[in-house]
Amino acid sequence: MWPDGYAKRVLPEVDSTNAEAARIAPDLAGPEWILGLRQTAGRGRRGRAWVNPEGNFTATLVMRPLEAPDVIALRSFVASLALYDAFAQVTGTDAGLSLKWPNDVLLNGGKVAGILLEGSPGYLAIGIGVNLIAAPDASQVEAGAVSPVSLLAETGVRLTPEAFLTALAQAYAKWERTFTTFGFAPVREAWLSRAARLGETITARTTQQETVGVFETVDAEGNLVLKTPKARVAIAAADVFF
């Protein structure tokens, strides 16, 4: 069942669902999901290309939230939890699922989905890509990054993008209600209970530096907290390597 209060548009082809979100944002009456069945100019974090074979999932939720920018950005965790629940629903199990800070979903240790938040004053676009039926070759990802996997190859479950969108929209609406009613605390607790490599040594890499430490927690602002030999370090944005 489609959640109340959310509009939906399905596009046979689009350059980027996040780009479409920017175009329609000024006229939004409420939150709206945009599903692109074929995307010609998809992108991931830091402007990387997002490979999207036909049958995979590319969608964006565009909304006009009223909170401060630092609070709005915490919806990456809301979206992660929604993806986790949607995968559990469509497969009948959460076995093998985990969440990788800041915005990836892992299945059996491989990346099955990613999230990209974009926006400007007045709107937020939550872009989501899911390898439903096919994953990029490992040679197409950054050295040392988690290898991509597909839902079909890992579970045998074959879904249409439209079917997955319904499951995701339902799950997102639930976590959005939790977030707007109770704040980040319950979202953070739920995210940490599903976190990949919590308590283990990981590497956080930015364009300027690399930090190696034990993944201790995610703090109340959504920062990754690593315990290094010298100090506890809170990291606002980085790529994480295991």
Q: What domains appear along the chain, each with residue ranges and CATH number?
A: 7-192 (3.30.930.10), 201-241 (2.30.30)
159 within 8 A of 132, measured Cβ to Cβ: yes
User: Parallel, antiparallel, or unpaired for β 110-120 and 123-130?
Assistant: antiparallel
Residue of 240, 238, 213, 242 lying closest to 228 (CA atoms) = 213
SS3 at position 157 = coil
Average pLDDT over residues 192-210: 95
E-only strand ranges, 121-179: 123-130
Q: What is the pLDDT of residues 204-236, one digit of tens each?
A: 998 889 999 999 999 999 999 999 999 999 999
The pLDDT, as a whole number, for residue 212 is 96
Is residue 104 a contact partner of residue 190, using CB atoms and an 8 Å limit? no
Helix (H) or strand (E) holding 114: strand 110-120
pTM score above 0.85? yes
